[in-house]
Structure 1
Amino acid sequence: MGDIVAIDAGNFETKFYDGKRFIRFPSVIGYDWRERNLQDKPKQFDFDWEYDGQRGFAGTLALTESDCAESRKGESKAHPDAQLRVLLALHQFSSETENRIIVGQPIKTHKPAEKEAIKRMLIGRHELKVNGERRVIIVRRCEVAAEGVSSGLLIPGGGTVRVIDIGSGTVNFGTLIDRSFNDRGSFTLVTGLETLKTPDRVAFARQIALKALAGGWKAEDAVYLCGGGAESLLKPLRVYFPTAQVIEGDPVYANVKAFYLIAGKVFANG
């Protein structure tokens, strides 16, 4: 049946977790491949890739060698860049040809049509070449979890739990009530740390907090932060949510850790 793997194909970094290893690499991709005159031995996250008739650089190699390197951002992961991020992670870090995977989608677009689009682009047989190594990757099953709110499952106990997942392209606001997802208290802000024109953490925290309060959250709620901006925005967010805290462990990996927890249940029977 293959490995069970959780992948958060984020706009800034792609995170991988197989129950044993947490790995992350830059999500940036360049489609402007060229023959290089000078080539060192590839570093861990240097990816010279070839897939489906296209070729380019990704990861740290794209940052140093691509003139047109970029990371596609937005409220959906149903696009070719996210597909390539997932396949690169499987090529480099999964020891199996066949995999059962769970990936993420922002709350705002966590809808049946979007989830089916993600499944269609990932399930099946893929042939990918990275740094000269050609591998066949078979995705047997794929499920799509909601980003941010799923991390609330890492919080023990019941009651109302609020989660703010602060990413590079989106901020996800999630609510769980007695460990069940609550739609009314969950939504997405379609901006993030990498899309701000003015990287003012205090101003951004204010925007996040006002969005949450307008959505029915209360200042006294149990609020937990995860994502790449969790630690840097904790202090300014405590102005609005005094008991806010960062999810225990590395908040960058909270989503994939929760996804893997969910995968263990949904893939229990194969």
Structure 2
Amino acid sequence: MRRLVLGFDAGNHKGKVVGPFGTDEFKTNICDWFERDVEEQFGSDDMEFEIDGRRGYAGSIAEYEDDFGNGTMYGDSKAHEDTKIRVLLGINRYLNRYCPHFENVAIVTGQPIKRHKPAEKNAICDMLEGTHTITVNGTHRKITIDKVGVAPEGSGAFWSNPTMGTVRIIDIGSGTVNAATIMDKKHINNASDTFNFGMETVKNKEDLASIARGIIRNTTKLKWHKNDKVYICGGISEGIAPYLSEHYTNAEILVPGMNRGDGFAKLHPVYANAVGFYELAKGAYSG
């Protein structure tokens, strides 16, 4: 049977899936299952699931119904059960939307730069590889994940629009900011890092100037320079770019692109990691 190749960005706010047929995104909030007296619909991504014995709700419904906050596990690692649930739900959504006849999947997903270590990557692979039987909104499906690759977030976004030379990437997420340095398509460890704050964890998410100053302070510690070529990606890219550009004068928004059946498409910078992961997955697992 043919194998579907996907790139998956398991964000703390939204999951982004990129594959040969197009893209998909959904809210990644998760909460425990409970019996509902009134079955209200909160969004098109409402999901009631059972995966490996865990029952719960995901998507917009979990954002509203969670008893313990916003139903999201933040931090600088994706090696936890919520990632598995997000990935399987994302694959299920993609299959339902584009190609329900597929069962076998190979993916590349991400891990923050700071925790992109062999033990953490192996934990993610062990958690995801294999055959999973899931139930979503009353429908059963068997998904076999044959191969799993784990790329560094931010650095992975580079492959959504690669170029030669030295490039800095600021990848602003909901829980972390990844700062990556790529030199002639090689990741440079000592000029890259993960900062443990993001758009959903700062005190005032509306104060973009203050968030930009925090990013600039942390990146200058990595010996980044004002005239470096800097690409900005993530959902807040367009809003925060003017403030980052006050220091990094050559900064611009990273616009990911991909070839689809209807031609080349430019996507929102929130898809930069997912597109980069998809490009890596095609190179590793296609054929």
Could you state the TM-score of these two structures normalised by the residue count of structure 2?
A: 0.89
CA distance in 2, matches of 1:108, 1:114: 11
Name the SS for the 1:256 alignment partner: helix
The residue type equivalent to 1:22 in the other structure is T
Structure 2, unmatched stretches of 5+, are: 256-266
Aligned 1:57-76 pairs, distance under 5 A: 57-68=57-68, 69-76=70-77
Counterpart among 170, 186, 190 of residue 164 in structure 1: 170
Q: Counterpart of 2:263?
A: none
Q: Please say which of residues 123-132 and 193-202 is displaced more in the overlay.
A: 193-202
Q: Please say which of residues 5-14 and 58-67 is displaced more in the overlay.
A: 58-67
CA distance in 2, matches of 1:30, 1:5: 26
CA contact (8 A) 1:8 1:103 kept: yes
Q: Counterpart of 2:14?
A: 13
**TM superposition shift of 1:82:** 0.8
Q: Counterpart of 2:44?
A: 44
The 3 A distance-change label for structure 1 pair 99 and 42 is farther
Q: Counterpart of 1:93?
A: 94
CA distance in 2, matches of 1:190, 1:232: 20
**What is the total number of aligned residue pairs between the two structures?**
268
Alpha-carbon RMSD across the aligned residues, in angstroms, is: 1.5
**TM superposition shift of 1:39:** 2.7
1:141-176 residue CA offsets vs partner (Å, 9 max, x unmatched): 111011111212333431101100000000001111
CA contact (8 A) 1:30 1:70 kept: yes
Aligned 1:1-270 pairs, distance under 5 A: 1-31=2-32, 33-39=33-39, 43-68=43-68, 69-94=70-95, 95=100, 96-199=102-205, 200-248=207-255, 249-268=267-286
CA distance in 1, matches of 2:42, 2:132: 23
Q: Counterpart of 2:258?
A: none
**TM superposition shift of 1:247:** 0.8
The residue type equivalent to 1:71 in the other structure is T
CA distance in 2, matches of 1:150, 1:3: 20
**TM superposition shift of 1:42:** 8.2
**TM superposition shift of 1:20:** 2.2
Name the SS for the 1:38 alignment partner: coil
CA distance in 1, matches of 2:173, 2:50: 28
Structure 1, unmatched stretches of 5+, are: none
CA distance in 1, matches of 2:162, 2:138: 45
The 3 A distance-change label for structure 1 pair 38 and 175 is same
**TM superposition shift of 1:231:** 1.4
The residue type equivalent to 1:118 in the other structure is I
CA contact (8 A) 1:152 1:162 kept: no
1:105-161 residue CA offsets vs partner (Å, 9 max, x unmatched): 000011111000000000011111110001111111111011111212333431101
CA distance in 1, matches of 2:197, 2:208: 13
CA contact (8 A) 1:7 1:15 kept: yes
**TM superposition shift of 1:195:** 0.6
The residue type equivalent to 1:18 in the other structure is G
